[in-house]
Amino acid sequence: MSASGRTSSAATPLARRGLLAGAVAGVAALAAGGCARGASTSAQPGTTSISNDNATWDEGYRSAGRELEKITGYALRPLSNPSVTSYQQVVQMTLQTSKASDLIKWASGYQLKRLARAGGLTDLTRVWQRYADKGWVRRTSRQALSYRGTTYGIPLYESYYVLFYNKPVFRRLGLSAPETWDGLLHCAEVLERNKITPFLASQVGGWPAIEWFQELVSKVDPGFYQRLVAGEASYTDDPARQAMDIWQDFMRKGWMTAPDFDQARGPGALKEGTVGMFLHGTWQASGMAAAGMEPGTDYGAFILPTVRPSTAKSVIAESGVFVVPSRASSHRAAMANVGSWLDPSVQRVWSDFLQDSSANPKVRSANPVVAGLQRDIARNRRLALVRYWEASPPSLIQGNTDDLGGFMAGQASAATTLRRMQERAHDEWAAWKRDEA
């Protein structure tokens, strides 16, 4: 007993010590990890951190940051969170703390209004005014960047919703980019006859369900679209019914992909020639490049024609914004960078990276397809309409997006879907106005 007892009593403290040491080391490692995470948003000389929900844009921010550094002395340091849902939660929570990033990528319109309403954003009215005086920003975009007359966002990019198409396939079938509604229907018929699904339509990930809705309603009546998203028209009105009937008809004819077709596969499907036209934002041009398609040679793009020739021409525009938290770790540096973001030298690099149109109208896109669309928008004086996702209160949009997804999957008729959307619009607009009051 004595020998074994001694041995065991000597071994136990050792084992205990080892366990304790391990536990302490583990806690220390966790604490160090936590600190490292916290440090990522803290001030670092010569840089401004930027919270971003698209990790594929990190290199673009770095490139544009190098140009910014020449002007302001501060580069950009992207911090990415690729999950949009968790990104939004993290941003809203950190905005109220001292760990907020210097710059935050956010959506414009009501998404921005909701963030601004909660407080914690810097007033950027003077920065916007300086840009407007130089002609580096479209004055018409101010409404979508402001809340109660104060501007809180500076445009990060500007994209348009267009139909990408495979040029060689169109050429082979004797088709060209349609300029009229009848031309569009003809293209779809020919593609369908050749066993190519004419249109890509998806509800994977939720939000893509809005794309065809906003596009068809605005091409039936752009004025109605504006009234609808402002809560001044009903979802059960004729133009909305007409748009849904067209959509239903397209699906019934087999002109659209199954609703569970993932849009991430869009560029590949277009390249293979299994899908004829892909409705998406022009920011998808970088996806086309990644799929090995040359703009102007392998793919082109056009804006969906209006249903009637007499209808005013319009385009759905999406604009991301930069906001500056009032408690940003490097607030001065953030203000300097946001004040030079739309400088043409910075936008040249940024636009080239995105292969998209810049928010600065004086910077022409290097992508010939996007540049052609910019010319079309200017020549036809197309009315720029705010994308549906940002055009009404977020709770209303989220619920209606779910309903549109259900409609695409055949769970509800067009009439039922519109009725539900209108009921929600009634409740959510009342709630928004009550909150504003």
Side chain identity at 254, as an amino acid letter?
Answer: G
Residue 394 beta carbon to other proteins: minimum distance, rounded to whole angstroms: 6
Nearer to other proteins, 236 or 395 (CB): 395
By CB under 8 A, residue 419 contacts other proteins: no
Residues numbered 70 to 99 that lie near other proteins (CB under 8 A) are 85, 88-89
Nearer to other proteins, 96 or 129 (CB): 96
Q: Which of 123, 182, 260, 272 binds other proteins (CB under 8 A)?
A: 260
Q: How far apart are CA 40 and CA 51, in angstroms?
A: 11
Q: Which of 399, 414, 422, 425 binds other proteins (CB under 8 A)?
A: 399
The alpha-helical segments, DSSP class H, found in 118-262 are 125-134, 167-172, 181-193, 209-220, 222-229, 238-252
By CB under 8 A, residue 249 contacts other proteins: no
By CB under 8 A, residue 8 contacts other proteins: no
The alpha-helical segments, DSSP class H, found in 230-367 are 238-252, 266-272, 285-290, 331-340, 344-354
By CB under 8 A, residue 405 contacts other proteins: yes
Residue 80 beta carbon to other proteins: minimum distance, rounded to whole angstroms: 19
By CB under 8 A, residue 109 contacts other proteins: no
Q: Which of 55, 258, 378, 415 binds other proteins (CB under 8 A)?
A: 258
> Residue 194's CB: how many other CB atoms inside 10 A?
13
Nearer to other proteins, 359 or 404 (CB): 404
Report in angstroms the alpha-carbon separations of 377 from 53, 249, 383, 408, 432: 28, 28, 8, 30, 33
CA dihedral sign of residues 215, 217, 222, 227: negative
Q: How far apart are CA 154 and CA 144, in angstroms?
A: 10
On whether the CB atoms of residues 323 and 121 are closer than 8 A, the answer is yes
Tokens 């005086």 belong to 133
By CB under 8 A, residue 110 contacts other proteins: no
By CB under 8 A, residue 409 contacts other proteins: yes
By CB under 8 A, residue 259 contacts other proteins: yes
420's enclosing H/E stretch is helix 414-436
Residues lying near other proteins in the complex (CB under 8 A) are found at: 85, 88-89, 114, 117, 203, 205-206, 209, 258-262, 394-395, 398-399, 402-412, 431, 434-435
